[in-house]
Amino acid sequence: MDIIQLSPGDLSELLESDHSVFLLDVREEEEFDFCKIIGSVNIPLINLVQNLQKIDQDKLVVTICHHGHRSLKAAMTLKDLGFSDVRNLKGGIDAWSTNIDPEVKRY
């Protein structure tokens, strides 16, 4: 199953448009507390399946992690569980910080 990969620029354009987006950050809580994309919701990957009710299925769900690997796994899990519109932030929050918002701390 192929998951659409969004570049940081693609995500930035989506967030600036009227498109309804649910930003799902699947990093651990400590990572999320250190830096995040404003408006994102933190559900660590290990807790994802138990917290599906917290995800707004009426919106495009964009999964986020540090470099894009855990979030890709999360996106595939959501697709397998019936979520229809799921995409992954390629390069994760690190790429977001490098390319879009240098105010987001890197680690």
Active site residue ranges? 65
Query: 44: which 2 tokens?
Result: 């660590």
Which conformational region is residue 82 in: left (phi greater than 0), alpha (psi within -120 to 50 degrees), or beta? left
Q: Residue 104: name the closest of 22, 27, 45, 46 by CA.
A: 27
